[in-house]
Amino acid sequence: MSSAEKLGGMGIIPKRKRQKVTEACSSQYKHEVRFQDLILFIVERKMGSSRRTFLMDLARKKGFRVDDVLSDSVTHIVTENNSWNEIWDWIQNQKLSNADKLKVLNISWFTDSMAAGKPVDIEDRHRLQEQKVLQSNVPPVVTISQYACQRRSTLDNRNKIFTDALELLAENFEFNENDGAFVAFSRATALLKSLPYKISRMENLEGLPCFEDQTRTIIEEILEDGVCSKVESLLCDERYKARKVFTSVFGVGLKTADKWYGQGFRTLEEVKAAKDLKFTKMQKAGFLYYEDINSAVTRPEAEAVGQIIENIVHYYTPDAIVTLTGGFRRGKEIGHDVDFLISCLKEGKNEGLLHKTVNKLNIQGLLLYCDFVEATLEKRKLPSKKYDVMDHFEKCFLILKLNKALVNNRVLSVSSASAVRPTNEGAEPEVKTKIKDWKAIRVDLVNVPAQQFAYALLGWTGSRLFERDLRRYTNHEKNMLLDNHGLYDKNKRAFLKAKTEEEIFAHLDLEYIEPWERNA
């Protein structure tokens, strides 16, 4: 197959859209064309149709003419992440009369032009450079960003032996409130997860950001010995083990865990047996449903909960949307809890919806615990400069009763199972034990106004390090502030509107990262 065929098959010119050219041409220029001598064509391959559509609309709003289909009239071709060789191969096969006059540019020229509101002068850095293929055993030099928001991190972690160790040590640094070491180890972990290859020797770390002396020492020890002595020691540490056990209880934070440890407690059994300890309502629920809450929530369970919530929300507000976020949106199959954003397209429809939803869950006998947090954002404030900060939306932290039949499509019963067992005359009568046919699930519901939905979705999708780096990049590189409520441009002294996550990334001049590529 030729390069042209490969590119055509991968969506440089979507075949299904060619028949709609006439229809598209009649509507695509509803915006005033300010730059008559310039006609853009944006390549879809390695960009995706949704991002391409967004960039085309953005250019048209700025007064650029953008054609859906490549033709002799096109003057500028804009591409992202494609090599010069494959693009030029494809252009030659299109048999254009003006192929030699075409300006083939990378996405940087486009973003610079959008920022300026006019076509900027073409510099060398804007041109798609010819790449000569050399026969060599030396691997190519790859530049990797220090920011997780500029890297793609899927669930395919090739360096788990290192990341498991670093994550455990980072957790202990956080326990000890050593923020500097916690961040350093977390960043090194995130970068390792993004690498498309396995670290097999220390030379593989050369040129990579985020690795300080401490993290390098850990990796070197694991390469040499297969284990890390600090991790082995920590796993045997009495205080660390107690902290892990105590904070596994819903409603128990580090301060409470350290308090119990200081009082001499080492196990949950000792804590529950203590007569002089007083527990909060949340902690009582945490102990009561401990076994269920600490067992993994599966994707089918998360989807079953989502269906329950969606049915109730739509009962009150049919046009509301319920969106699954967190690790499940990033492609994970299991998690610790389930997070949903609830939003309405029309202003005012959100009011009282969360209270109604929780009341309905209670009426249906599904509500085991509820902690309601009212919205605290009375007026629009600047996004917080802190990278780890809770938002101000109305939300509730729940424990719901999920019937296993909704997940398994059958009711579990001992009687049906025992019916196939052989029985013996004279045997002791069988004692039937009732099996619990439901599971307690931790659920968070967040009520989000429509104009802030894109920002809330981005923030609640995670991962934690991805979000932290995204806000750090926004502040340090773009002189802006970002949180779950909005994006503020400090230069323009204005909030930037966005209806989608793609628009937020575009505001920041970042390549869009899909949710399943944010597992930093």
Q: Which residues are catalytic?
A: 337, 339, 444
255/139 Cα distance (integer angstroms)? 49
SS3 157: coil
Quote the crossing angle between the two packed helices 464-478 and 453-461, to the nearest 10°.
Answer: 120
- The secondary element (H helix, E strand) that includes residue 111 is helix 107-116
48 phi-psi bin (left φ>0, alpha ψ -120 to 50, beta other): left
Single out the residue of 384, 499, 387 nearest to residue 452, CA to CA: 499
Give the up-direction half-sphere exposure of residue 295: CA atoms within 13 A in the CB hemisphere: 9
Sign of CA dihedral 166, 167, 172, 177: positive
Q: Are 80 and 43 in contact (CB under 8 A)?
A: yes
- 15: number of Cβ within 10 Å: 9
Q: Where are the alpha helices (DSSP H) in 62-93?
A: 84-93
For residue 97, cis peptide bond before it (omega within 30 degrees of 0): no
SS3 443: strand
SS3 367: strand
Single out the residue of 254, 445, 426 nearest to residue 342, CA to CA: 445
Tokens for 447, please give them: 């009520």
363/73 Cα distance (integer angstroms)? 65
Q: Are 506 and 54 in contact (CB under 8 A)?
A: yes
Long-range contacts of 351-357 (CB under 8 A, 24+ apart): 353/313, 353/316, 353/317, 353/320, 353/447, 354/394, 354/395, 354/396, 354/445, 354/447, 356/312, 356/316, 357/309, 357/312, 357/313, 357/316, 357/445
Phi, psi of 119 (to 5 degrees): -65, 125
SS3 441: strand
80/94 Cα distance (integer angstroms)? 19
Residue 264 is given by DSSP the state T
346/214 Cα distance (integer angstroms)? 52
SS3 116: helix
- 80: number of Cβ within 10 Å: 21
